[in-house]
């Protein structure tokens, strides 16, 4: 199979969670369909790769292995906070998405890069760690817990970037959620990622200033390009 190292980059702006979940599913299915057709017809058609940046209105999502009791709000309380809730098909437990948070969804055919889901997750983490270092923020991994953390091994361990992915036939979807200028108060309504006693933070909270989100996105793409040896092609997206 010919490896396609190009990634179609789309910045979708602020969009409803369900709308983008459906869009991801459509892109995901399209890539899988090409792979199935290639096998059936002994063909060698390139599979596309996509990377979506998006910001969601307030929403809580629960992964396949998650526990609903980690959501600490009733339906009425969700409505009062103008937040929505979805059970979804990624790994991981519960998390929050909202304004001021950069969400990245790679829909990659890993056969274009390498067939190792753990390496894939470590590369996503590494891109965030390298980006944070450019701001003087020391991000690290926490053993046994996917994502990027600060202060691991201290009483002040806090998560700055959550991750949860789904993969089938080596095609990925879902991804990471990085707290940049997010309102961290919304995390008080859940047990984030099902881990009790662990705090969350944001770049804004750590650096005590508003962060340029476009600059952060550009830095993330720079590091992903290097790690995956990929070429990101920016696509203009109509609102």
| DSSP of 193-230 | GG-TT-EE--HHHHHTS---HHHHHHHHHHHHHHHHT-
- Do 178 and 159 touch, CB atoms closer than 8 A? no
The C-alpha atoms of residue 211 and residue 194 are separated, in whole angstroms, by: 28
Q: Which DSSP category does 45 fall into?
A: P
Give the Cα separation of 112 and 38 in Å (integer). Answer: 14
Q: Which of 131, 150, 191, 193 is catalytic?
A: 193
CA-based radius of gyration for the chain: 18
Residues 6+ apart with CB under 8 A from 70: 62, 93, 94, 190, 191, 194
- Name the 3-class secondary structure at 29: helix
CA angle, residues 188, 94, 121, in degrees to nearest 5: 120
If DSSP codes are grouped into helix, strand and coil, which group holds residue 112? helix
Residue 131 to residue 137: CA distance in whole angstroms: 9
What is the Cα–Cα distance from 148 to 138, expressed in whole angstroms?
Answer: 10
Positive or negative, the Cα torsion across 39, 232, 139, 177?
negative
193 flagged as catalytic: yes
Residues annotated in a binding site for substrate: 90-97, 162-164, 175-177
Residue with tokens 């450019």: 134
- Which active-site residues does the annotation give? 193
């Amino acid at each position: 199979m010919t490896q396609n190292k190009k990634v179609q980059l789309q910045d979708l702006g602020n969009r409803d969670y369900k709308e983008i979940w459906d869009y991801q599913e459509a892109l995901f299915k399209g890539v899988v369909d090409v792979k199935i057709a290639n096998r059936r017809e002994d063909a060698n058609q390139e599979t596309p790769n996509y990377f979506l940046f998006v910001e969601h209105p307030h929403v809580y999502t629960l992964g396949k292995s998650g526990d609903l009791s980690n959501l600490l709000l009733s339906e009425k309380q969700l409505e009062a906070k103008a937040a929505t809730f979805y059970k979804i098909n990624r790994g991981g437990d519960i998390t929050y998405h909202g304004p001021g948070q950069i969400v990245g969804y790679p829909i990659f055919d890993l056969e274009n890069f390498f067939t190792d889901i753990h390496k894939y997750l470590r590369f996503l983490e590494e891109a965030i760690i390298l980006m944070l270092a450019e701001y003087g923020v020391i991000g690290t991994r926490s053993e046994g817990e996917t994502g990027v953390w600060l202060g691991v091994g201290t009483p002040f361990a806090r998560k700055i970037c959550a991750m949860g992915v789904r993969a089938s036939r080596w095609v990925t979807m879902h991804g990471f959620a990085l707290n940049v200028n997010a309102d961290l108060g919304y995390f008080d309504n859940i047990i984030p990622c099902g881990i009790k006693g662990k705090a969350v933070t944001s770049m804004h909270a750590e650096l005590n200033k508003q962060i340029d989100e476009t600059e952060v996105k550009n830095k993330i793409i720079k590091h992903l390009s290097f790690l995956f040896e990929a070429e990101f092609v920016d696509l203009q997206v109509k609102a």
